[in-house]
Amino acid sequence: MSGTFVGMPAFPKAAHEAVRDTTLRANLKHATHTIRDKRARAVAELDDWAQLREAGKQIKDHTLRHLEHYLVQLEESVTAAGGVVHWARDAAEANRIVTELVRETGESEVVKVKSMATQEIGLNEHLEAEDIRAYETDLAELIVQLGKDRPSHILVPAIHRNRGEIRDIFRREMGSWGRPAPEGLTESPAELAEAARLHLREKFLRAKVGISGANFMVAENGTLVVVESEGNGRMCLTLPETLISVVGIEKIVPTWQDLEVFLQTLPRSSTAERMNPYTSTWTGTTDADGPQAFHLVLIDNGRTDALADEVGRQALRCIRCSACLNVCPVYERAGGHAYGSVYPGPIGAILSPQLRGTASEIDASLPYASSLCGACYEVCPVAIDIPEVLVHLRERVVEGGEATQRGTRVTLQPAKGHAVERAAMRAARWAFTHPAALGAGQRLAARTRRLHPRSLPGPGRAWSATRDLPRFPAESFRDWWQRTNGGKDTAK
């Protein structure tokens, strides 16, 4: 994924700072609670939500099971409609293809529709290194780009910023990227939006190349779909002469009619709207209308490896709505940056270690970035059992085992740093399969209860830093039961 995340510390370390940043905490709490409450209301309006959720799950599972077939069908449809399909195995290949396509146009700047796929491969950074400037046109992406920041949320990348911070970024940075911010810009939302509109307008009208992702690709007719709220996407999709769409291979739906399900579940889950303001669809090229050259770059970048995993593959159903982020108590406190990937929150915690493997410190820590409360699964519009995948990936981290990497079955070794824990788990398992040993341990602990420290050494220190330990009782329940014959004897 994006080079900006290479060498990230493990999640607990990254979260440590975020938890102490009171402005960040307040920004995140306000934003996530607002969206989560609105989402609940929007979902409650539909009496067939459970069926829509199940239908979305079924369509995605069916498509993933027959992905080869639908990819070939999609390539045929796109080609027949006048587009050109390119296949990219990984981020480097995708970046190379896009760079060459832009070079062929002779242009040195492009306008972009908000796209997770291009962020995943670090396209903007790559283009910049090749002297091509990519302008983000989504308001929140613009804020992140101008602020030399990283996105903190899938849908609202600048969720961690408040209005005052945004005004400062606009005042400071807009001038060096194009039209400067108006004099005396305040933090009123209308003024901030107008400043962005003026700044972006000149880019839309000048750009000859547009780059997008897609929310969906329809195999039967080669149509791509982008849903958005601001209209910037439609400008980028229609005004330039060349359009390059970079899309993950899992974004296919078989038929046009399948969109019926997702165009109901996606807006409600993401922005809590019944329908998003702009739904743009495009199919190849059309004479004298819209882009005259259309390229579709299909990226794998770890997706077929994830597809090979029986439990983990359900993560590929994700439609990037971000509902799981907005309900996640861990995301709310740690913020998006702590996840070390363009995919933060619960979905990021299962997607990143599958797409990138669990070798790095951050990827090995992500499956543990959850209390397994299950709120993410409850809101997921395609019913991804995120807690199930988290636990599955934890097993991969601590015990190693079979996995697919770059198309080859490999046996992974356990990640470093879990030896003590593994030994403790095995010792506990032994005690728990020997009830007499458990009882003896309890009695020893009861006899020494006055000697127990109020805080713990080793890994337990993390517990007693902010919480008092419970007092050890004088007698375990099993000893009480035996002594009193299940409470029947008068002795208490």
Partner 1 sequence: MRVALFLTCVNDTLYPDTGRAVVKLLTRLGVEVDFPAAQTCCGQAHYNTGYRREAEPLATHYAETFGPGLAAGAYDAIVTPSGSCAAMVRELYPRMGERARAEGRGTALAAALAPVVPRTYELTEFLVDVLKVTDVGAYYPHTVTYHPTCHGLRSLGLGDRPARLLAQVRGLELVELPGAEECCGFGGTFAVKNADVSSAMGADKVRNAASTGAEVLCAADNSCLMHIGGTMSRLKVGIRPVHIAEILASTEQEPQA
- Strands annotated E in 206-343: 209-212, 216-218, 223-228, 242-248, 252-253, 278-283, 293-299
Strand, helix or coil for residue 246: strand
Tell me how far, at minimum, the Cβ of 53 lies from partner 1, in Å. 15
Considering only 395, 404, 410, 412, the residue that binds partner 1 (CB under 8 A) is 395
- From CA 28, how far away is CA 161, in angstroms rounded? 9
Stretch that binds partner 1, among 75-83, 137-145, 171-179, 366-374 (CB under 8 A): 366-374
Q: Using the rule CB under 8 A, is 373 a contact of partner 1?
A: yes
Considering only 457, 486, 489, 491, the residue that binds partner 1 (CB under 8 A) is 486
Q: Using the rule CB under 8 A, is 9 a contact of partner 1?
A: no
Stretch that binds partner 1, among 180-188, 250-258, 290-298, 465-473 (CB under 8 A): 465-473
Q: Which long-range contacts (CB under 8 A, 24 or more apart) does 365-369 make?
A: 365/10, 365/11, 365/12, 366/11, 366/339, 366/340, 366/393, 367/391, 367/393, 367/394, 367/396, 367/397, 368/11, 368/394, 368/397, 369/11, 369/15, 369/330, 369/334, 369/338, 369/339
Q: Using the rule CB under 8 A, is 131 a contact of partner 1?
A: no
25, two tokens: 């905490």
> How far is the first Cα of the chain from the last one, in angstroms, to the nearest whole number?
63
Q: Using the rule CB under 8 A, is 11 a contact of partner 1?
A: yes
Tell me how far, at minimum, the Cβ of 66 lies from partner 1, in Å. 22
Strand, helix or coil for residue 218: strand
The angle that helices 189-206 and 139-146 make with each other, rounded to 10 degrees, is: 90
Q: Using the rule CB under 8 A, is 375 a contact of partner 1?
A: yes
Q: Using the rule CB under 8 A, is 257 a contact of partner 1?
A: no
Q: Is 385 exposed, middle or buried (0-12, 13-18, 19+ CB in 10 A)?
A: middle
- From CA 223, how far away is CA 256, in angstroms rounded? 8
333, two tokens: 């406190």
Q: Using the rule CB under 8 A, is 489 a contact of partner 1?
A: no
The angle that helices 22-44 and 11-20 make with each other, rounded to 10 degrees, is: 100
- From CA 388, how far away is CA 393, in angstroms rounded? 9
Q: Which is nearer to partner 1, 466 or 490 (CB)?
A: 466
Stretch that binds partner 1, among 43-51, 196-204, 276-284, 474-482 (CB under 8 A): 474-482
Would you say the C-alpha torsion 300, 301, 303, 305 has a positive or negative sign? positive
User: Quick check: 113 and 210 in contact, CB under 8 A?
Assistant: yes
Q: Using the rule CB under 8 A, is 412 a contact of partner 1?
A: no
Angle at 188 between CA 184 and CA 191, to 5 degrees: 60
Stretch that binds partner 1, among 144-152, 206-214, 340-348, 387-395 (CB under 8 A): 387-395
Q: Which is nearer to partner 1, 213 or 387 (CB)?
A: 387
Considering only 287, 477, 490, 491, the residue that binds partner 1 (CB under 8 A) is 477
Site for partner 1 in 173-192 (CB under 8 A): none
Site for partner 1 in 298-357 (CB under 8 A): 310, 329-330, 333-334
Of 319, 312, 295, 327, give the one whose Cα is nearest residue 366: 312
Tell me how far, at minimum, the Cβ of 58 lies from partner 1, in Å. 20
Alpha carbon 472 to chain centroid distance?
42
Stretch that binds partner 1, among 101-109, 295-303, 403-411, 417-425 (CB under 8 A): 417-425
Q: Which is nearer to partner 1, 448 or 482 (CB)?
A: 482
Of 298, 271, 280, give the one whose Cα is nearest residue 381: 271
Considering only 85, 308, 391, 410, the residue that binds partner 1 (CB under 8 A) is 391
Which stretch of DSSP H or E encloses residue 349?
helix 345-356
Considering only 1, 2, 8, 15, the residue that binds partner 1 (CB under 8 A) is 15
Q: Which is nearer to partner 1, 148 or 409 (CB)?
A: 409
Q: Using the rule CB under 8 A, is 194 a contact of partner 1?
A: no
Q: Using the rule CB under 8 A, is 220 a contact of partner 1?
A: no
Question: Which letter does DSSP use for residue 160 in this model?
Answer: T
Considering only 4, 19, 191, 229, the residue that binds partner 1 (CB under 8 A) is 19
Q: Using the rule CB under 8 A, is 41 a contact of partner 1?
A: no
Q: Which is nearer to partner 1, 225 or 364 (CB)?
A: 364
Q: Judged by CB under 8 A, how many residues of this single chain contact partner 1? A: 66
By CB under 8 A, name the binding residues for partner 1: 11-12, 15-16, 19-20, 25, 310, 329-330, 333-334, 367-375, 377-378, 388, 391, 393-399, 421-422, 425-426, 428-429, 431-433, 435, 438, 442, 445, 459-460, 462-463, 465-470, 472-473, 475-478, 480-482, 486-487
